[in-house]
């Protein structure tokens, strides 16, 4: 039986747009795939998906919306770390829709979450110390350490309840947010991401990494907090390292001329003030979608530097798959060609009535373990409080 109740919702030009009527919705693994409309599984070589997207030019206009969820572990395949991939490791969810319409937050049930499991401070400190020793040895310069939080909720809630609770007004919309409900998995992939992996306009591809975070009240004047953030040596070191990594990644796409056009600017999100930069590169009309993914995914801000070494270290320390979290969601819709980095993101499981949220931050030689742990909780609160207000 075919189930076409799958849908996505995206913020678009001050509107919430619902994408529906999927023509194709497939979850891809390394050696097989699953049709998310019929539930059928079939043998599939992931190299075929790569080849298909080598034919998709980035300067194309997309009349039919396409949503591509890149899962974090796709990075292991790109870096040829095949031993870190299991047969059940999801790499990509790729959906093509044939209809779209504006929607308004309608009647929705209030979300109440109960915390089931959260990171233990002692466990966090042990992982922090192991990673910190790698920094002292010079094996990497920064790594992103993250942990999961698991919540439960009552039966009877719908995907729309979570979506409208998170985005009930425009002030809470993440600039690169997305929501996709997949009936076959009985899961909602819900992201309120403020972070851009890439954005393509005309000939220019831009990346805008976030590094550096301070807590703030939503009613508070952010300018004194910004002054503290820009003068924080640890935050500056984080941002400059990752900006340089992104400049190198963007330069590898085609021409070695990516430039940091904004060294440091503020981004306000619920409960937090972030520090960002912007790196631009001009591309020719022949650049394809896979070329961009291959050279810059996963985003350096959620791995560290050097990227490959940091990813190996993260895998050793976290001992779990990040999955949707720290992956990217690509939206191809008319002139919109953008990709998030899926921070402030969760997976809502309607079979087990649970919500998985993950958070973390960049660790450098200037990091303090207690401060990093607190920052992780601030990022948790930014999402959870917005969702449950």
Domain residue extents for the chain = 7-211+283-388
Q: Is the peptide bond before 15 cis (omega within 30 degrees of 0)?
A: no
Q: HEC string of 311-376?
A: HHHHHHHHCCCCCCCCCEEEEEEECEEEEECCCCEEEEECCCCEEEEEEEEEECCCCCHHHHHHHH
pLDDT of residue 1: 43
Match 């779990």 to its residue by tokens.
320
Mean pLDDT of the region 62-86: 96
What is this structure's pTM? 0.96
306 preceded by a cis bond (ω within 30 of 0): yes
**With 50 as the cut, is the pLDDT of residue 62 above it?**
yes
* DSSP annotation of 209: -
Give the confidence band of 335 by pLDDT, cuts at 50, 70, 90.
confident
Let me know if 137 is a catalytic residue.
no
The phi-psi region of residue 141 (left if phi > 0; otherwise alpha if psi is between -120 and 50; otherwise beta) is: alpha
Q: Is position 125 annotated as part of the catalytic site?
A: no
pLDDT tens per residue, range 156-175: 999 999 999 999 988 889 99
Three-state SS at 139: coil
pLDDT confidence of residue 105:
84
pLDDT band for position 2 (cuts 50, 70, 90): low
The model's confidence at residue 244, banded by pLDDT at 50, 70 and 90, is: very high
SS3 287: coil
Mean per-residue pLDDT for 174-197? Answer: 97
Per-residue model confidence as pLDDT tens digits over 276-285? 999 999 999 9
Marked catalytic residue, from 18, 211, 337, 379: 211
What pLDDT score does 165 carry? 96
Binned at pLDDT 50, 70 and 90, residue 3 comes out as: low
DSSP symbol at 140: -
Which pLDDT score, from 0 to 100, does residue 4 have?
66
Tens digits of per-residue pLDDT, 262-272? 999 999 998 99
Sequence-separated (6 or more) residues with CB below 8 Å from residue 68: 92, 93, 94, 95, 329, 330, 332
* Structural contact between residues 192 and 173, judged by C-beta atoms closer than 8 angstroms: yes
Q: Quick one: which of 50, 331, 24 has its CA closest to 200?
A: 331
Tell me 211's DSSP state: E
DSSP type of residue 297: P
What is the mean predicted confidence (pLDDT) over 222-236? 93
Tokens describing residue 136 = 């002292």
pLDDT at 169: 87
pLDDT at 389: 87
Q: Which CATH architecture has domain 7-211+283-388?
A: 4-Layer Sandwich (3.60)
Look at residue 334 and tell me whether its pLDDT is greater than 90: no
Instruction: Give the mean pLDDT of 37-53.
Output: 98
Candidate list 195, 254, 321, 375, residue with the active-site label: 195
Consecutive H or E run containing 64 = strand 62-70
Q: How far is CA 357 from CA 166, 178, 376, in A?
A: 14, 15, 11
Q: What is the mean pLDDT of residues 7-23?
A: 94
Q: Which two tokens stand for residue 208?
A: 């805008």
pLDDT value for 14: 87
| Contact partners, residue 47, CB within 8 Å, separation at least 6 | none
189, 182 Cβ separation under 8 angstroms: yes
Query: Residue 217 has what pLDDT?
Result: 87
pLDDT in tens, 269-322: 989 999 999 999 999 999 999 999 999 999 999 999 999 999 999 999 999 999
pLDDT, tens only, 354-364: 999 999 999 99
Confidence category of residue 209, pLDDT binned at 50, 70, 90: very high
Q: Closest by alpha carbon to 184, among 71, 353, 355, 350? A: 350
Strand partners of residue 101: 18
């Amino acid at each position: 039986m075919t189930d076409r109740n799958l849908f996505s919702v995206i913020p678009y030009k001050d509107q919430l747009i619902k994408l529906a009527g999927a023509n194709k919705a497939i979850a891809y693994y390394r050696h097989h795939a699953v049709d998310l409309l019929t539930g059928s599984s079939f043998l599939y070589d992931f190299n075929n998906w790569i080849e298909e997207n080598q034919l998709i030019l980035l300067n194309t206009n997309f009349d039919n919306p396409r949503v591509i969820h890149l899962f974090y572990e796709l990075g292991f395949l790109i870096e040829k770390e095949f031993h870190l991939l299991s047969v059940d490791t999801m790499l990509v969810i790729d959906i093509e829709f044939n209809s779209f319409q504006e929607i308004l937050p309608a009647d929705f049930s209030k979300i109440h979450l109960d915390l089931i499991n959260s990171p233990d401070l002692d466990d966090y400190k042990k992982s922090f110390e192991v990673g910190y020793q790698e920094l002292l040895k010079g094996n990497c310069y920064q790594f992103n350490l993250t942990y999961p939080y698991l919540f439960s909720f009552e039966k009877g809630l719908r995907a729309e309840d979570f979506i409208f609770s998170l985005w009930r007004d425009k002030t809470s919309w993440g600039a690169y947010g997305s929501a996709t409900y997949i009936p076959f998995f009985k899961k909602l992939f819900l992201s309120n991401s403020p972070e851009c992996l890439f954005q393509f306009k005309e000939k220019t591809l831009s990346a805008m990494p976030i590094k550096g975070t301070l807590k703030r009240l939503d009613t508070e004047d952010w300018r004194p907090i910004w002054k503290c953030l820009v003068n924080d040596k640890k935050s500056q070191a984080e941002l400059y390292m990752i900006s340089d990594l992104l400049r190198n990644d963007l330069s590898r796409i085609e021409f070695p001329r990516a430039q940091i056009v904004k060294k440091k600017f503020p981004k306000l999100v619920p409960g937090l003030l972030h520090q960002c930069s912007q790196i631009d590169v001009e591309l020719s009309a022949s650049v394809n979608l896979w070329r961009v993914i291959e050279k810059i995914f996963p985003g350096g801000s959620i791995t560290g530097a050097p990227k490959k070494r940091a990813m190996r270290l993260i895998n050793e320390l976290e001992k779990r798959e990040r999955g949707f979290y720290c992956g990217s969601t690509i939206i191809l819709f008319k002139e919109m060609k953008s990709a998030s980095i899926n921070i402030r993101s969760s997976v809502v499981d309607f079979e087990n009535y649970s919500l998985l949220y993950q958070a973390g931050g960049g660790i450098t030689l200037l990091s303090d373990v207690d401060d990093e742990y607190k920052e992780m909780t601030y990022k948790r609160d930014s999402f959870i409080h917005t969702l449950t207000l």
